[in-house]
């Protein structure tokens, strides 16, 4: 919805990784340098780690998009907690080998033959394993064994492992992985973006989606976006999607820190604390105790005032909750592929009014 409002050709902050939106941040640039060095060696393991949402999968897409299939045969696996024998079957499938009914010994022989067949075409084979932190030791050991296959003194298989930070810690701290660790020729951890990179990241993605300057961005918005997202690309994408939706709903032409903070507050209120109380009700003083001879009329009047305030606050809360539900439904719709509702933006504006 917001992309139509702002004249964009597509949603620039989708959560699904898309290599077209590759952003050359300092940490991703360093990762590409390590990958280039590792691929030039043609052997061993290359390890890239990063927090959830740091851009590991986008990095893989960017790398594979630049690889010439005439030089390198790429097999990509998104791993789960599979044991070594099952991983071997997955690799065999990637080499167009039918693993059903084969023993482990047969599979190893067939995989080696498959790697030799690729090498005879003048190509090397690169195995990319995503979510490597989920692999048990048996699977990692199987990968190490596969890296031993050679022809003419050159490795037939090179392996690229991507994982969350715990994989790097596990790799460095496990004695059982010592042999694999000795074969790692390049390793890099993807750090969050620096504060000064957020503005370039946001405008870069918007420009790919056809942004022509509307909405504009105030200078004070980018430090807030960095603090709110921690510089993690996926978190920033999620926040920016909500920010653009809010800007479309309110017809804002400039996105500033106040607008972003409003969106963050709305998101926080979607999960209200059970112990929260209405501040304005708490701020009303308690009625003074009646003195001897007083009729208590003043106390009754204060009690009535408190009740009236509570009723008004309740109505405001109900209206606010209804609007938040509407915005939540719109966010869910924006992140889906459902067709646009007729007059959706006008309906939301009417509800907000």
Q: pLDDT tens, position by position, for the chain (353 residues)?
A: 799 999 999 999 998 888 899 999 999 999 999 888 988 888 999 999 999 999 998 898 888 888 888 889 999 888 677 888 888 999 999 999 999 999 999 999 999 999 999 999 999 999 999 999 999 998 999 999 999 999 888 999 999 999 999 999 999 888 899 999 999 999 999 999 999 999 999 999 999 999 999 999 999 999 999 999 999 999 999 999 999 999 999 999 999 999 999 999 988 876 554 333 333 333 334 444 444 444 444 455 556 666 666 665 566 565 555 555 555 555 455 455 544 444 444 443 444 44
Q: Are residues 173 and 206 in the same domain?
A: no
Q: Is residue 20 part of a domain?
A: no
Q: Is residue 141 part of a domain?
A: yes
- pTM for the complete prediction? 0.70
The pLDDT of residue 65: 87
Q: Which of 131, 158, 190 is the last residue of a domain?
A: 190
Q: Are residues 45 and 127 in the same domain?
A: yes
Q: Is residue 93 part of a domain?
A: yes
Q: Are residues 63 and 174 in the same domain?
A: yes
Q: Are residues 213 and 279 in the same domain?
A: yes
The pLDDT of residue 78: 82
Count the domains in the chain: 2
The pLDDT of residue 69: 85
Q: Which of 150, 168, 190 is the last residue of a domain?
A: 190
Domain that holds residue 206: 201-352
The pLDDT of residue 278: 36
Q: Are residues 126 and 152 in the same domain?
A: yes
Q: Which of 166, 190, 214 is the last residue of a domain?
A: 190
Q: Are residues 182 and 210 in the same domain?
A: no
Q: Is residue 12 part of a domain?
A: no
Q: Is residue 129 part of a domain?
A: yes
> 3-state SS of the chain?
CHHHHCCCCCCCCCCCCCHHHCCCCHHHHHHHHHHHHHHHHCCCEEEEEECCCCCHHHHHHHHHHHCCCCCEEEEEEECCCCCHHHHHHHHHHHCCCCCCCCCHHHHHHHHHHHHHHHHHCCCEEEEEEECHHHCCHHHHHHHHHHCCCEECCEECEEEEEEECHHHHHHHHHCHHHHHHHCCEEEEEEECCCCHHHHHHHHHHHHHHCCCCCCCEECCCHHHHHHHHHCCCHHHHHHHHHHHHHHHHHHCCCEECHHHHHHHHHHHHHCCCCCCCCCHHHHHCCCCCCCCCCCCCHHHHHHHHHHHHHHHHHHHHHHHHHHHHHHHHHHHHHHCCCCCCCCCHHHHHHHHHC
Q: Are residues 216 and 348 in the same domain?
A: yes
Q: Are residues 223 and 348 in the same domain?
A: yes
Q: Are residues 165 and 210 in the same domain?
A: no
Q: Are residues 34 and 176 in the same domain?
A: yes
């Amino acid at each position: 919805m917001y992309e139509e409002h702002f004249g964009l050709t597509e949603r620039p902050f989708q959560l699904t990784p898309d290599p077209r939106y590759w952003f050359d941040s300092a940490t991703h640039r360093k990762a590409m340098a390590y990958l280039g060095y590792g691929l030039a060696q043609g052997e061993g393991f290359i390890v890239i780690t990063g927090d959830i949402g740091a851009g590991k999968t986008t990095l893989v897409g960017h790398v594979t998009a630049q690889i010439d299939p005439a030089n390198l045969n790429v097999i990509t696996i998104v791993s789960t907690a599979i044991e070594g024998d099952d991983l071997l079957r997955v690799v065999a499938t990637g080499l167009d080998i039918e693993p059903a009914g084969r023993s482990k010994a047969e599979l190893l022989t067939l995989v080696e033959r498959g790697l030799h067949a690729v090498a005879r075409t003048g190509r090397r084979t690169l195995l990319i394993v995503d979510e490597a932190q989920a692999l048990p030791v048996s699977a990692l050991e199987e990968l190490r064994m596969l890296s031993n296959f050679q022809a003419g003194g050159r490795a037939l298989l090179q392996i690229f492992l991507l994982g969350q930070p715990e994989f790097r810690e596990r790799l460095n701290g496990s004695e059982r992985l010592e042999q694999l660790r000795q074969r790692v020729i390049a390793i890099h951890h993807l750090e969050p973006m620096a504060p000064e990179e957020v503005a370039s990241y946001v405008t870069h993605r918007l420009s790919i989606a056809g942004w022509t300057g509307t909405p504009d961005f105030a200078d004070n918005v980018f430090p807030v976006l960095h603090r709110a997202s921690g510089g993690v690309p996926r978190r920033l994408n999620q926040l920016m999607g909500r920010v653009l939706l809010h800007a479309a709903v309110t017809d804002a032409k400039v996105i500033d820190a106040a607008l972003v903070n409003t969106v963050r507050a709305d998101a926080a209120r979607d999960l209200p604390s059970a112990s929260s109380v209405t501040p304005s009700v708490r701020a009303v003083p308690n009625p003074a105790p009646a003195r001897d001879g007083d009729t208590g009329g003043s106390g009754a009047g204060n009690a009535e005032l408190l009740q009236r305030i509570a009723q008004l606050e309740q109505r405001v809360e109900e209206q606010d909750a209804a609007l938040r539900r509407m915005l939540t439904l719109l966010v869910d719709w924006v992140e889906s592929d459902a067709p646009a509702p007729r007059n959706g933006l006008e309906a939301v504006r009417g509800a907000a009014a």
